[in-house]
């Protein structure tokens, strides 16, 4: 009897594996940042558009609004595609959109802003990418939603208009 069950075990294992693989094919990469739910990292970097001032973590924690931090670069093509979504985002009530310019030159970054428009309330100039590492950034673009000094959500890659509607707006509503 045990013997018979033993002979069915390879079959069962394959079925279980099949189920696992099926789900893995259908799953999407979730952004599993370990920073979600934690406080934002402390940072202080030059402002892109005003040399004399610093963009710091205090700028984010001191406001009651919902803060969006978008990490971008002028050499990043998906960042261009995302730009008009960011424009929409910046117009929402109670939402402040900040940018961190990642591993770029001031010249190219400023050109980018001048050409495409500036949706950002402030832009930090992270030339060596250190601040991005503090935020756990893999690449550009990435966007963080911050509220009351805590990271609520992280979006990897450019934000599509559909993602804005389906995922991001509901989060904003929840937080309000």
Partner 1 sequence: MKSSQYIFHILIAYSLLLSSVYALNVDQEERANNLFKETRCLVCEGQNIYESNSNSAEDMKELISEMIIDGNSDNEIKSFLVSRYGDWIIMTPPINQSTYFLWFSPIIILLIGIVFILRKFKKNG
Partner 2 sequence: MSELLSYLGIVSLCVCLLVSLAQIKISYLKSNANYINYFNLSLIQFVSCLLSFLILIYIFITSDFNFSLVYQNSHTEKPMIYKLSGSWGNHEGSLLMWILILTIFNFMFALMSKANIRLTEITVGVQSFLILGFLLFLLFTSNPFSLLSEPPNEGLGLNPILQDPFLAIHPPILYLGYVGFSLIFSLAIAGLLLNHIDKNWASIVKKWTLSAWILLTAGIGLGSYWAYNELGWGGYWFWDPVENASLMPWLAGTALIHCVSILEKRNTLQSWTVLLSILTFALSLIGTFLVRSGILNSVHAFASDPTRGLFILAFLLIVLIASLFIFARKGPFLDKEIKYHLLSRETGILVNNWLFLTILFIVFLGTVYPIFTDIVLNENITVGSKYYIFSITPIIFLFIFAMIITPFLNWSTNNYKILIQKIYKPTLLSVILIFSISLYFDKLSITEISLLILSSILIMANLNSNILFKNNSLYLTSNIGRALTHAGFALLIISIIANASYAKEKITQAKVDDKIIVGNYDFIFSSISQKKEKNYHKIIANFEMQQHSGTLKKLSPEIRFYNNPPTITSETSIARMLFKDIYIVMNVPENQEFINVRIHIKPFMNFIWVSILMMMIGGLFSISYRIKNS
Q: How far is the CB of 26 from partner 2 (least distance, A)?
A: 7
Q: How far is the CB of 71 from partner 2 (least distance, A)?
A: 20
Question: Are residues 57 and 40 in contact, defined by beta-carbon separation less than 8 angstroms?
Answer: yes
Q: How far is the CB of 18 from partner 2 (least distance, A)?
A: 5
Question: Are residues 157 and 133 in contact, defined by beta-carbon separation less than 8 angstroms?
Answer: no
66-72, strands of its sheet edge to edge: 122-126, 95-102, 66-72, 142-147, 150-156
Between CA 94 and CA 103 the distance in angstroms is: 29
x/- letters, 21..60, toward partner 2 (CB under 8 A): xxxxxxx--x-x----------------------------
Q: Is 17 in the site for partner 2 (CB under 8 A)?
A: yes
Q: Is 14 in the site for partner 2 (CB under 8 A)?
A: yes
Q: How far is the CB of 1 from partner 2 (least distance, A)?
A: 10
Residue (of 36, 121, 131) closest to 87 by Cα position: 121
Map the footprint of partner 2 across residues 66-105, applying CB under 8 A.
none
Which of the 8 DSSP states describes residue 167?
Answer: I
Residues of this chain that interact with partner 2 (CB under 8 A) are 3-4, 7-8, 10-11, 14-15, 17-18, 20-27, 30, 32
């Amino acid at each position: 009897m045990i013997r018979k069950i033993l002979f069915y075990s390879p079959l069962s294992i394959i079925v279980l594996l099949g189920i696992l693989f099926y789900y893995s094919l259908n799953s999407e990469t979730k952004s599993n940042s370990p920073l979600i739910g934690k406080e934002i990292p402390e940072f202080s970097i030059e402002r892109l558009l005003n040399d004399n001032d610093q963009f710091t973590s205090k700028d984010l924690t001191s406001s009651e609004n919902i803060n969006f931090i978008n990490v971008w670069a002028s050499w990043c093509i998906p960042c261009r595609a995302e730009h008009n979504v960011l424009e929409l985002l910046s117009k929402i009530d109670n939402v402040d959109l900040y940018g961190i310019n990642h591993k770029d030159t001031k010249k190219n970054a400023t050109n980018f802003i001048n050409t495409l428009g500036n949706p950002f309330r402030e832009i930090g100039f992270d030339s060596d990418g250190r601040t991005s590492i503090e935020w756990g950034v893999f690449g550009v673009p990435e966007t963080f939603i911050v509220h009351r000094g805590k990271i609520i959500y992280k979006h990897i890659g450019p934000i599509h208009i559909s993602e804005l509607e389906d995922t991001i707006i509901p989060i904003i509503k929840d937080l309000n």
